[in-house]
Structure 1
């Protein structure tokens, strides 16, 4: 379970970074390029992924 959560959180971070770059118009070729809403959505997604990754990697996580 911890491995799956780690993979999901890393994918969330990567997708968030891609959306940030597209929203900031630094990565073109998409309908999302230059749209500031994707910048903000990417920030939220990347932060959520980082929080999830931190929560999963802390000592004693998912241990009952």
Structure 2
């Protein structure tokens, strides 16, 4: 049960990072203040990569059991 929280957090970070990236690039037009803002096109991939790292760490923790 130790690895489920980082795994869930990683999945959430990947999804949020993808949404923020698409909003920052202007691909996903949601009427948000984030639409077309370059900052979110930079922050999004960073958050998504951090999420992937969390997922990998969670999977490795589950594999050691």
Q: TM-score range by the shorter chain?
A: 0.7 to 0.9
Which structure is richer in relative contact order (CA contacts within 8 A, separation 6 or more)? Answer: 2
Could you say which residue in structure 1 is the equivalent of 2:14?
Answer: 13
Instruction: Give the distance between the partners of 2:53 and 2:4, measured in 1 at CA.
Output: 15
Cα shift at 1:4: 1.3
Which structure has greater helix proportion?
Answer: 2
The TM-score with structure 1 as length reference comes to: 0.87
Instruction: Give the distance between the partners of 2:15 and 2:43, measured in 1 at CA.
Output: 13
**Structure 1 residue runs of 4 or more that deviate by more than 2 Å after TM superposition:** none
Where structure 1 has 5 or more consecutive residues not aligned to the other structure, the ranges are none
Give the CA RMSD over aligned residues.
1.1
Where structure 2 has 5 or more consecutive residues not aligned to the other structure, the ranges are none
Aligned residue pairs total: 61
Cα shift at 1:40: 0.6
The TM-score with structure 2 as length reference comes to: 0.86
